[in-house]
Structure 1
Amino acid sequence: MSTEQSTFDLDSWRTRPALQQPQWDDPEEVRSATAELAGLPPLVFAGECDQLKERLAAVARGEAFVLQGGDCAETFSGASADAVRNKLKTLLQMAVVLTYAASVPVVKIGRMGGQFAKPRSKPTETRDGVALPAYRGDAVNGLEFTPQARRNDPSRLVRAYHCSAVTLNLCRAFTTGGYADLRQAHAWNQDFVAGSPAGQRYERLAGEIDRALSFMAACKIDPEEFHGVEFYSSHEALILEYERALTRIDARTGLPYDVSAHMVWIGERTRDLDGAHVEFLRQIRNPIGVKLGPTTSPDDALALIDRLNPDREPGRLTFITRMGAGRIRDGLPPLVEKVSQSGAPVAWVCDPMHGNTFEAPSGHKTRRFDDVLDEVAGFFEVHRALGTHPGGIHIEFTGDDVTECVGGGHEIVEDDLHQRYETACDPRLNRSQSLDLAFMVAEMYRETR
């Protein structure tokens, strides 16, 4: 391990420009909240972070595929058993489709259990001549447009921790307690199959899996992997006071881990090489991601590798591209080529959501399913042409029957958006659209092998 990574200063980020941070009214409230967080138990363990790093190393080698997804911005009210189960069920169904239809091991990472803060393009929001602080996620303030709700309140960081703990506890229970048993694949679909083309297609695949499992049982083969799944948590490491308070020194290695999640990432707005986010994340030993938008140059990518993974540790760094459907085919090849030539072990993951957002005439932010699919297709085309590995997808979805993105098997149109537009921030794929995407991604992946 290099000198840079074996010595660390977990507060060095405080001397760097820290973008997208809330303006807190009272520094004493911040100190009180972070002191409380620092005394709370870890949400994840360092050994689990290392295990995910091993799985992502396999992705970088071309041996596995990442499925990362969940809410754009979790809400405190969404930390319920039903909401968590529905998101997890959708993720499991997508993973089954990808694993079986594409014949590839799938690394399952939830955008869950910590995604309570969001960057914003403007610090304030104005309605009818009234300006209030922008909604920055439930970890900072409330969605309701009132001075009381929009006050940036550090005590919400503590509540975000507790809602994350509830969510992760439920996920662990579901993934290890029998719910994720592959023989439950039909049960996950009972509420969905009759009225959904995607559900019907999934049910046919579940029948094929049943037959395969019956054959294996007859051969006295019953792998442990069929009874539970590995599930990892992730979120954008946006609010640095929160991440710092939840960073611990691992007793095994003497190195720092951010125990708020297994994997954390730096956003497109905060990936400045000299900024506070890069400075903080280079110190921790979790697997980390960086969002790369259409303005990223090959030199930017190489500089991020040098700063965040100077030892070229496999599984340490994931690049999550978010170019937009119209730019992916031109913007991605120079990045992949330059990074591949450097020999750095990077997992490439496609975020087809954030570059494809537009405002419908109704005023709703939305995304076209066809644009999402086209960006994924472009991602696969680039990697196929370069002989590199398309390592995964990173999507915003919900397990509920919302109407937030247009298109998909049910052909949601812009006039439908108002019916169940429930997101606290960005539009999400619903369950049917998510499964449609999984089947199509599986087909694309098969073509690259």
Structure 2
Amino acid sequence: MTIHSPLSANTRHAFGLSAENEALTELSAWREYPRVQQPTWPDEQKLGDVFDRLRSAPPLVFAGEVDLVRSRLAAASRGEAFLLQGGDCAETFQDSTADRIKNKIQTILQMAAILTYSASTPVIKMGRMAGQFAKPRSSDEETRDGVTLPSYRGDAVNGYEFTPEARIPDPERLWRMYTTAASSLNLMRAFTGGGFADLRQVHDWNRGFVRSKGYTKYERLADEIGQALQFMEACGVDFEPLKLVELYASHEALLLDYEEALARVDSRTGEIYACSGHFLWIGERTRQLDGAHVDFLRKVRNPIGVKLGPTATSDDAKRLIDLLNPEREEGRLTFVTRMGASTIRERLPKLLEEVKADGAPITWVTDPMHGNTITSSNGYKTRRFEDIMDEVRGFFESHQEAGTIPGGLHMELTGDDVTEVLGGAGELDEEGLTRRYETLVDPRLNHTQSLELAFLVGEMLQRAKRD
């Protein structure tokens, strides 16, 4: 396939390739850069066939939607909006059902209602959904009982079952990733546009939550929201528009074959959009300045996120700005910090101050999940709710110290009652992890823990406004 082997300008002209094909062909230059976290596909011909099918398939999102997300994130960078980004650590084909998707959307809507009232500012609702089917791994191989096999890299690449057959990377899974993402997006649009997101219904869900055992301490804030809604109704506010919400899809742009195949040229502007999702991010493991992921994503028009861990320096951040946002455009670049509760207050303020001096517009978001992963005494990969909340507090404190704007939360969560994160008002202990531990990769906040976090962050936002 010519798309896998970039042609020279003279060759493209000789074959009469269109400007659109020429622009898309330029994207494949990422193959000339150091690549990490990419599967070793055993069948190149099969990969090429799937690539061609994806190239001719309809885009999953559209340029106009992406432009709107960029404008929303620009507002968050100025403190005029707040991003709530949440969803699975790694989506699976099996669990991409209507009920599971509905539960995640419900959780995000409930959290957003709490944060909107608390911050007195619009909340950008974004799911780690409809594309988060692949995950980077710390090792290419996994060993169990003396048997070594390739690591599970997400349903988009191979199977979770620990067998030689399941662990072979299969390009056909990229096509299933596309079709599953398409059906998930269809449900997301239906739920958020068909009355499910009615603000009054969302508030009733939250009222039910605060009446539960252990959560009555949040009743005051819920009552305030209820009074505000009653006041709006008494004033004759039309609630019909409030039944509709914007919900955007995001994922880590990990599998570059997939991302390239779904890139499209906008007929309005001639610019390239990654049409696999509205917002894409580069992970901590793939943000190499001379790497394939940075090269690919700097060429697309989408708003882009980059994860920054505790080893990230201001020089790293500034060079990423130069590569990914040389025009210093608002809403283009989001830095998602994942420092860990024990180090955030030491590392983040200096990073914020030095990047601030550069003058580039950045939307700063916290991921309090990935820096706080531990292993329980009974062998479960988990996190402590208290550590997650402490990193969120450290995030807000660091921004206050640096005089910068905290722009949002990036969470791994589910709408189901799983038992994967320790603590919270429900006091989940290590023995409780055994009850319903379902994640195949990283632990997620369950429904009640997610709402508890939203109420706690809401109280922090209210205090910050008073101060």
Report the TM-score range of the alignment, normalised by the length of the smaller protein: over 0.9
SS in 1 for 2:280: strand
Q: Is the 8 A contact 2:83 2:123 kept in 1?
A: yes
Letter aligned with residue 172 of structure 2: S
* Match of residue 302, structure 2, among 280, 286, 304: 286
Q: Structure 1: where are the runs of 5+ without partners?
A: 1-6
* Match of residue 426, structure 2, among 402, 410, 413: 410
Encode CA deviations 1:389-440: one digit per residue, 9 max, x unaligned. Answer: 1111101001111110100010001121111000011000111111111111
Measure the CA separation in 2 of the matches of 1:186 and 1:278.
Answer: 41
Aligned to 2:137: 120
Q: 1:406 to 1:308 in 2, by over 3 A?
A: same
Establish whether residue 389 from structure 1 lines up as the match of residue 405 from structure 2. yes
Please tell me whether Structure 1 or Structure 2 has the larger radius of gyration of its CA atoms. Answer: 2
Q: Is the 8 A contact 2:203 2:226 kept in 1?
A: no
Measure the CA separation in 2 of the matches of 1:347 and 1:355.
Answer: 20
* Match of residue 371, structure 2, among 328, 331, 355: 355
SS in 2 for 1:14: helix
* Match of residue 39, structure 2, among 22, 35, 42: 22
Aligned to 1:445: 461
SS in 2 for 1:268: coil
Q: 1:186 to 1:223 in 2, by over 3 A?
A: closer
* Match of residue 64, structure 2, among 47, 50, 58: 47
Aligned to 1:265: 281
Q: What is the correspondence of 1:13-412 to structure 2 with a 5 Å cutoff?
A: 13-188=30-205, 195-198=212-215, 200=216, 205-222=221-238, 225-412=241-428
Measure the CA separation in 2 of the matches of 1:373 and 1:351.
Answer: 11
Q: 1:327 to 1:138 in 2, by over 3 A?
A: same
Measure the CA separation in 2 of the matches of 1:207 and 1:387.
Answer: 32
Q: Is the 8 A contact 1:116 1:138 kept in 2?
A: yes
Q: 1:102 to 1:76 in 2, by over 3 A?
A: same
Aligned residues: 443
Q: Is the 8 A contact 2:305 2:336 kept in 1?
A: yes
1:165 Cα shift?
0.8
1:447 Cα shift?
3.0
Encode CA deviations 1:130-178: one digit per residue, 9 max, x unaligned. Answer: 1111000000011111112111000000001111111111111111100
Measure the CA separation in 2 of the matches of 1:301 and 1:18.
Answer: 20
* Bigger mean CA deviation after superposition, 118-127 or 180-189: 180-189
SS in 1 for 2:196: coil
* Match of residue 422, structure 1, among 432, 435, 438: 438
SS in 2 for 1:144: coil
Measure the CA separation in 1 of the matches of 2:410 and 2:212.
Answer: 27
Encode CA deviations 1:267-308: one digit per residue, 9 max, x unaligned. Answer: 000000100000000000000000000110101000000000
Q: Is the 8 A contact 1:108 1:230 kept in 2?
A: yes
SS in 2 for 1:172: helix
Encode CA deviations 1:100-137: one digit per residue, 9 max, x unaligned. Answer: 12322111110011000000000011111111110000
Q: 1:17 to 1:52 in 2, by over 3 A?
A: same
Name the % identity.
Answer: 61
C-alpha RMSD over aligned residues = 1.7
